Amino acid sequence: MLRLPSLRAPLDVLFLVCCLILTADVLGPEIFGHGKTKDYPLWYWAGQQVLQGGDLYPHDPHTVFAFLYPPLPAMLLAIPAYFGKIPLYLCLSLLNAIAWWMTAQLSNAMSGDSETTGPWLAALPSIVMITFTFDMFDLGQPNLVLLAMMLWGFWLLQHNRPWSSGILFALATAIKVFPIAVLPYLVWRRQWASAVSTVVFLAALLIVVPAPIRGYAHNLSELKTWYRGMVGSSSEAGFGQRDDQNWSWMNQSLISLTHRLTRPVDYNQDNPNSRPAYMNLLDLDFKAANWVVLGVAAVIGLGFITVMPPASRRTPRSDAEELGILFCLMTVASPLARQYYFIWLFFPLTVLLHRAAHDIRPAMRKVSWIVLGISAFLICLSLPPFPHAWQAYGNNFLATVVMAAGLAWHLLHPADEKAGSQVSSLSAAGRVP
């Protein structure tokens, strides 16, 4: 059951204290220092552009964009930006805090675990993912909010509210495009109402909703400029307005990692003061590397389809494991997957922790702990003591692959739920040690 934080629960109090500290990290520099940096000033600028009727993008799509998102997020930012920087920053911090709580609640509720979730097991994913959560507050990025939206959407879908789920999927996509990867999954699972709802409301959010405020012609022009500059631009130099980051160690997407391994690109190109560094195993050209990307993506997609159980064998456990793999794939399928994108591993991590704690089979619990240990080790290679080369070789990407493989193993080796329910009943009766 989803619930609100309680002041009578010590771990809930700890959560609230952490939110206050993270919010202070955002507001402190703005109130007492020289102003909060990272993406926060950009969000204020975008909101002010909407309020003043200015342009969000340069007219030439080849010019570097300051604001990389579609017009709708700028309109949403304009509401708190009307009251000033501090109200805007406070609003974004509150959104992250709410999203953090909802993500934890929904992840545990949707884990497919029939056992009662203890407070420490429920809190453990938040503890493990704390550095990623810190990035969400410190940078002002919306990925945690998007994760909460997507989880909420799937929760609604599981409770027979497909049209409502589509609204949330569409809103997440209208803010930051990569959640659109959910659409092929909805089509494959024949969730027609949710898929249609996603498409219809995405069109409404991108075209219809901004029109009364920005003007139909102005909004459509900006949408076209954004599309040409962000989605429609791709070359050997890079894509999506951030050429210096696309092939660098900072990007651990499937696209970027494949290009670094198959053609000679400098993964230190984001820093002109660093010596060029290469990691390619092959020496392909740009077009051939793209074919490799498509081939690898096709193999991964076919592998996912292979391990997905048919509708007749779906259970809450298998649905959780299936969605965990989906969230892994959506993370690395984004063309740009920087460190903070991997906050989306929150849900797969939660599912694996539940399997490690409560699977009735000792061997499967052991497998889950091994998967979690390897993933944790790989993720730790992003910490400052380690060189950027580990991220260039895709430490977070590999952790995602390991988690997805662990979840796939569970899908291929489902537990006997009848036996599990009997064991649970006997344990409750005190007849099983």
Predicted pLDDT at 426: 37
- Is residue 118 pLDDT above 80, yes or no? yes
**Nearest-5° Cα angle at 170, 408 to 146:** 60
Of the ranges 55-64, 120-129, 165-174, which one carries the lowest mean pLDDT score?
Answer: 55-64
pLDDT band at 312 (very low <50, low <70, confident <90, very high): very high
- Is residue 242 pLDDT above 80, yes or no? no
Altogether, the residues listed in the chain come to a count of 433
Q: What mean pLDDT comes out for the span 189-205? A: 97
- Is residue 244 pLDDT above 60, yes or no? yes
Is 213 strand, coil or helix? helix
DSSP assigned state of 342: G
Q: What SS3 string covers 116-174?
A: CCCHHHHHHHHHHCHHHHHHHHHHCCCHHHHHHHHHHHHHHHHCCCHHHHHHHHHHHHH
Predicted pLDDT at 425: 41
Predicted pLDDT at 349: 98
Neighbours of 419 (CB within 10 A): 11
Neighbours of 282 (CB within 10 A): 11
Percentage of the chain exceeding pLDDT 90: 85
The Cα diameter of the chain in Å comes to: 73
pLDDT band at 1 (very low <50, low <70, confident <90, very high): low
What are the φ and ψ backbone dihedral angles of 234, each rounded to 5 degrees?
A: -160, 130
Q: What mean pLDDT comes out for the span 164-176? A: 97
Predicted pLDDT at 47: 97
Q: How far apart are CA 113 and CA 351, in angstroms?
A: 8
Q: What mean pLDDT comes out for the span 275-299? A: 95
What does the pLDDT look like over 327-384, one tens digit per residue? 999 999 999 999 999 999 999 999 999 999 999 999 999 999 999 999 999 999 999 8
- Is residue 62 pLDDT above 80, yes or no? no
Mean of all residue pLDDT scores within the chain: 92
Q: How far apart are CA 283 and CA 52, in angstroms?
A: 50
pLDDT band at 432 (very low <50, low <70, confident <90, very high): very low
Token duo for residue 203: 């069109």
Neighbours of 116 (CB within 10 A): 9
pLDDT band at 246 (very low <50, low <70, confident <90, very high): confident
Predicted pLDDT at 238: 73
Spatial contact of 178 and 334, defined as CB atoms under 8 Å apart:
yes
pLDDT band at 318 (very low <50, low <70, confident <90, very high): very high
pLDDT band at 429 (very low <50, low <70, confident <90, very high): very low
Token duo for residue 175: 């803010």
Long-range contacts of 306-315 (CB under 8 A, 24+ apart): 307/408, 307/411, 307/412, 308/188, 308/411, 309/411, 309/414, 313/414, 315/112, 315/414, 315/417
First to last CA, the chain: 28
CB burial class (10 A; 0-12, 13-18, 19+) of residue 65?
middle
CB burial class (10 A; 0-12, 13-18, 19+) of residue 354?
buried
Residue that the structure tokens 């022009």 belong to: 221
Is 239 strand, coil or helix? strand
Q: Which positions ≥6 away from 401 have C-beta within 8 Å?
A: 328
Of the ranges 177-186, 194-203, 408-417, which one carries the lowest mean pLDDT score?
Answer: 408-417
Q: What mean pLDDT comes out for the span 5-16? A: 95
**Nearest-5° Cα angle at 107, 162 to 393:** 105
Nearest CA-CA partner of 332 in 348, 323, 344: 344
Q: Taking the CA of residue 121 as centre, how many other CA atoms within 13 Å lie in the half-sphere pointing to its CB?
A: 18
What does the pLDDT look like over 14-51, one tens digit per residue? 999 999 999 999 999 999 999 999 999 999 999 999 99
Of the ranges 140-144, 239-243, 395-399, which one carries the lowest mean pLDDT score?
Answer: 239-243
Counting DSSP H helices and E strands in the chain, the numbers are 21, 0
